[in-house]
Amino acid sequence: MPEQTTTADAATNATPDFSQKMVDILNYGALNLAVGIGYRTGLFDVMDAFDDPRSVEAIAGAAGLDARYVTEWLGVMCTGGIVTVETAEDGSPRYRLPRSHGDVLARRAGNGNLGVYAQEIPLLTLCALEKVVDGFRTGEGVPYAAYPRFQAFMTELANAKHRQVLVDQFLPTVDNGRMVDRLAAGLRVCDLGCGEGVALALMAEAFPNSRFTGIDMDPRVIEIAAERSAAAGLDNVVFRVGDVVALCDDGDIAESFDYITAFDAIHDQQDPLGALRTVRRMLAPNGCFSMIDIDSRTPHQANLDHPMGPFLYTVSLMHCMPVGRFAGGAGLGMMWGREQATALLAQAGFESVAVVEMAHDPFNIHYFCRR
C-alpha cells in the first residue's frame, strides 16, 4: 500500500519547476567546487586585496598561479555571480571581487567565513566517494584513516570558527558567566576529540591559572597539537593519545577534571554513549561538560526549513555517519539532532542538560551538562 502524506507535507515538498531546480543544482554544485579551489589557492584573498578591477595577468601574478587556469576559474566565478567582469578600453576583461563577497569568502572573514566550507564536499568526495557508495550496499562504515587531509581541514575550520569567538563570546555564556571566573581562578580542563588543539590552545593562553589536557585517538593530530603548543610556549597544556571510551578503564582519570569540552567530537564516535559515560566519570563531583555540536532536529521532517540542511546532511553522509558506523559503530551522523542528543546525555547519567542556543553561531548548539 502506498505511503500516505498529509496535505501539509505535500505542500512543503512541492517544487513548481523541478527541471529549473536541477539546473540550479548543477550550477551551484559546480560553483561549490570552483569556490573551494579559489579558497584553497588563495585567489579570493588576492582579489579581496585589490580596490579596483584587474586583468587575469595581474590576478594570476599576485597569486603566483598559472594565468590559463586562473582564466578558466574566473569564467566560473563571473558567470556564477561571485566576481564581476567589465571590459577595459583595450577590450580585455577586468575582474573584481566585490568587498561584500570578500567579507564571507576571504580568510579575513573570521567567524563569518563561509569560503572555508566550500572545500568540504570536494575533499570528502576525494577521500571517500567509492567507500561511501560501497557502504550503500554493504552497510559498512569508513575508517578515519581514509580521510588523510580531513584533520588539517578541521584545523582550518577551527581557526576560522574559534579564533574570534571562543574566548570572547562563547566562554562568557557558559554557566551564566560563572565559568570564565572559575577558569581565571584555575580549573582542570579537558578538551575531548581535540584534533590539532586549536580550541585548547586558545583557552590555555587566555587562562594561565588553569591546566588543560587535550585527548584525541589520532596520534598524528596529537603530535601536531603538542608541537604547536610547545612552539607557542604554553606550559599549562598536555596532550594525550587515547580512545575516550577505553579511558573508562583508566582509574587515574576518574573525577580528574572540573570542566570538559567536546567541540564537534561526539556525533562521529563509534560508541557515543560509551564516550559520554566516560566524560561523566572523568568529571569531578561539581564538574560541567560543554558539548558543542551541530544544531538540528532528529526527524527529517523537522529540518525541512534548515538553511543548510542538504549541505550538512551531505557532509554527514560522506564523513560523520560512515566513520561513526565503522567497526559496527553507532553511526549517528552530524544531523543526529537535539532529541537524540538529549536522550543520550540523559542515558549517560548527566544530572542536568541545558540546551543553549549561541547568538554568535546559529549552526551549532551548546549542550551544557552537570555531572
How far apart CA 96 and CA 43 sit, in angstroms, is 11
Contact 289, 283 (CB under 8 A): yes
Q: CB of 217 within 8 A of CB of 243?
A: yes
Query: Whats the size of the chain, residue-wise?
Result: 371
Q: Smallest distance, Å, CB 200 to ligand SAM?
A: 9
Rule CB under 6 A: which of 193-252 touch ligand SAM?
A: 193-195, 215-218, 221, 243-245
Q: Which stretch binds ligand SAM (CB under 6 A): 24-32, 113-121, 268-276, 345-353?
A: 268-276
Residue with smaller CB distance to ligand SAM, 48 or 264:
264
The grid coordinates of residue 185 equal 581562578
CB-based closest residue to ligand SAM = 193
Q: Toward ligand SAM, which CB reaches closer, 59 or 248?
A: 248
- Nearest approach, Cβ of 154 to ligand SAM (angstroms)? 4
For ligand SAM, the closer CB: 194 or 312: 194
Instruction: Give, as ranges, the residues between 134 and 193 that touch ligand SAM (CB under 6 A).
Output: 144, 154, 158, 193
Burial of 165 (C-beta count, 10 Å sphere; 0-12/13-18/19+): middle
Nearest distance, CB of residue 319 and ligand SAM, angstroms: 8
Task: Provide the minimum distance between the beta carbon of 215 and ligand SAM in the complex, in angstroms, as a whole number.
Answer: 6
Window 11 to 30, contacts with ligand SAM (CB under 6 A): none
Q: Tell me which residue of 36, 40, 127 sits closest to 311, measured CA to CA.
A: 36
> What three-state secondary structure class fits 266?
coil
> Which of 43, 225 has the CB closer to ligand SAM?
225
CB 299: neighbour CB atoms within 10 A?
10
177: left (phi over 0), alpha (psi -120 to 50) or beta: left
**Of the two residues 23 and 232, which places its CB atom closer to ligand SAM in the complex?**
232
Q: Does 132 bind ligand SAM (CB under 6 A)?
A: no
The closest alpha carbon to 208, from 183, 172, 240, belongs to 183
Considering the complex, state which of residue 53 and residue 337 has its C-beta at the smaller distance from ligand SAM. Answer: 337
**DSSP conformation letters of 14-57:** --S-HHHHHHHHHHHHHHHHHHHHHHHTTHHHHHHT-SS-B-HH
Could you tell me the smallest distance in angstroms from the CB atom of residue 296 to ligand SAM? 16
Shortest separation between residue 227's beta carbon and ligand SAM, angstroms: 16
The x, y and z cell numbers of residue 51, run together, are: 580596490
Shorter beta-carbon distance to ligand SAM: residue 59 or 294: 294
Select the residue interacting with ligand SAM from 263, 289, 367, 368 (CB under 6 A).
263
Per DSSP (E only), the strands in 218-305 are: 237-241, 257-263, 283-294
* Cβ nearer to ligand SAM, comparing 177 with 362: 362
Q: Give the residues lining the site for ligand SAM (CB under 6 A).
A: 144, 154, 158, 193-195, 215-218, 221, 243-245, 263-265, 268-269, 275
